[in-house]
Structure formats: C-alpha cells, structure tokens
Amino acid sequence: MSRAALAMIHLGALRRNLARVRELAQGAKVMAVVKADGYGHGLERVARALRDADAFGVAAIGDGLRLRAAGITNRIVVLSGPDEPADLAELRRLDLDAVIHHQSQVDWLAADRGTRPLRLWLKIDTGMHRLGFAPERVAEVHARLRALAGVDPDIVLMTHFAASDEFDRDLTTQQIARFDAVTADLPGAHALANSAGLLGWPRARGQWVRAGGLLYGLSVVAGKTGSDLGFEPAMTLSTKLISVNCIKRGEHVGYAATWQCPEDMPVGVAAIGYGDGYPRSAPSGTPVMVNGVRAAIVGRVSMDLIAIDLRAAPDAKVGDRVVLWGRELPVEEVAMHAATISYDLTCGMTKRVLFVEDDSE
C-alpha cells in the first residue's frame, strides 16, 4: 500500500489560470512554461491540461521528447537551446524550437548540414547577465543566423527580466528600453514578459508572453499569494494522521528535543517528511490544516514524519486528513516559514508521493 502523502493536481485550475493569463496577455501568444516536470505537477498531465497554449517552454530536449511521446503537438521551445552540435539533429527530429544565447551555438549552426530549417529564438542580455548576447552583438548575430540555410529566418527576439516582480524598480524599465533600442530595426516577434512581467509591466507584452508560476497558481510577487493575484492553486498536498498521543507538559517532541510542550496536550504524527519533499527547514509553528482547522507543526521535520500541535483540533484522530498546502492553505505561507519560495516546494515532491488528478470544474 502506498504512503498517505498525496498530491492532488487540479486540472480545472490549470485551465482557468491559462485563461486568466490570456486575458492579461491581451492578444499576445502564450508560452506555457512546463520545465521542472511542470513545476512539480507532472509534465505530461500539465501539458494535456494546457493544450490551448500556443507553445510550451521546457528546459531540456529530453522534456521535449517526453511531450512528443505523450502526443503533444504544440510548438515546444527548449529554453537553453542545444548543449552540443549533435543536439541540432534531435531538435529537428522532434520539431523543437531552440533558444540561441551563446556564440558556440551560432558556430554549431553555421557548421550544421541539416536541411530542415530550425525555428530559433534569439536571447538578448539586457541586464540579467545570465544567458544571452550583449546588445552590441545582437544585430550581427541576428543577420548571421538569418543567412544560414538551416535556420528559419522568422526568428523570435527575447530577453529575461531580473527583477520584474519589483514593480517600482528601475531595472525592468531599463531592460525594456535596452531591448527596444536593440531590436528597433530587426524583424521578428518580441518575447519579454515572464509571469511577473505580465502582471506589472504592460509595455513588455510584445507578441509572446512566457507564463510559468501563475499557471500553477503560484505567486510571483513577494508578500502575495497566487490567490491574491487572481489565480488558483493547482496542487493540494495532503496526508493523514497515523498517531495521536497526549504528551505531558515539559516533555520534548522530535529529534534533538527542540520543542517542549507548554502544557499537557495532544500531539499528532502525520505521514510526511523530507523524504516526500516536505521541507526539512520548516520550523515549529509552520501551519497545516487538520480537518479544516489550522494547526502547526512542532519539533523537527524528519524523513518520514511530522508532529502537529493538536490543541486547536482536540477531536482529531488517526486517519484524519492533514493538508500541507493547497486550496485551504497557501503554499506561499508555508514557503515563508521554511525560508524558501513556493516553486521550491512544489518542485520538490519525490516519487513517494502519490499524484492524483482532479478533473472537476
């Protein structure tokens, strides 16, 4: 029998979140970013739910292979492009787009003898300083790529924002201005906005937007939940109580005896831990929901178990449901307690967790 840890994936929420992204995009095409196994929600199931997207963004060719094997026919963009010359043939075989961000990739394309033109996205470094060509090189690289027989001349021009979630910061304004200046005389669609860019920077919509976290109902703005921004959580992580005991005042709970009972009190033990992907860094006081009532974990998170202060739910018993995050409890709140971000939590689920699809509307 499987463990009690269960991740319910709400397919209807994914679809409604995509519809909300389209509203915000105001006519721009939408790339649904499904890297990191669909932000931990399951690559294939997410792609099937989001078939109405204009394209999917993946981190590696292997993800494109998985999507094609699952029958996904949408345009698929490999966001870091080829890693070696042999990848060009695989990109063609799978009909994948490639982001080109480095001179080595341009050289591979120039030496390539493939006859089927590859669709390319040219990445411009406007201030992120991670991947992309410096602005002064863009016109030259763009012209060289368009002249190659193995390249589709309809190249998308793109960049990536470093701080688009900070709506009052000048850096994004500067990045947009740099992008506009370098692309003013170049043909091709523009792709600037990620999820936060879509929310806070209307000038950055261009002809393509790249939505990631918002599709999963995850916040992309500090201090806000996905629900605050008008999106629905697509994952509910839950488990069950496997033990309820009354622990005496002054007794300690868990490894290293880091938490002490302030009074005689019921303490529950739930079947989830860092072996399932629940964050070990979550401290005492991190919220959970027990039968719809807010409670909190106490003591250290262990590999397989967490302990829960049940004083707020004194009638809780073995077998009762415990929600770690989801519709009842924002994952962003749990992430804040664990000193991380919501993406880290949803992406961290392990193979021990049972994934179940909820296709109700």
- Residues with catalytic function: 35, 255
235-247 vs 6-10, strand pairing mode: antiparallel
Shortest CA distance to 60 belongs to which of 45, 81, 41, 40?
81
Amino acid at 312: A
* Burial class of 88 by CB neighbour count within 10 A (0 to 12, 13 to 18, 19+): buried
Are 136 and 170 a contacting pair, CB within 8 Å?
no
Identify whether the C-beta of residue 3 lies closer than 8 Å to the C-beta of residue 352. Answer: yes
CA-to-CA dists, residue 202 to 26, 28, 189, angstroms: 10, 11, 16
* Polymer length in residues for the chain: 361
The SS3 of residue 183 is helix
What's the CA gap between 167 and 299, in Å, rounded?
A: 38
Tokens, residue 58: 């993946």
Q: Which two three-digit tokens encode residue 59? A: 């981190």
Tokens representing residue 136 in the block: 């002064």
Token duo for residue 45: 């199931």
Residue 356, classed as helix, strand or coil, is strand
The answer to whether the CB of 306 falls within 8 A of the CB of 272 is: yes
Chain centroid, CA 145 distance in Å: 31
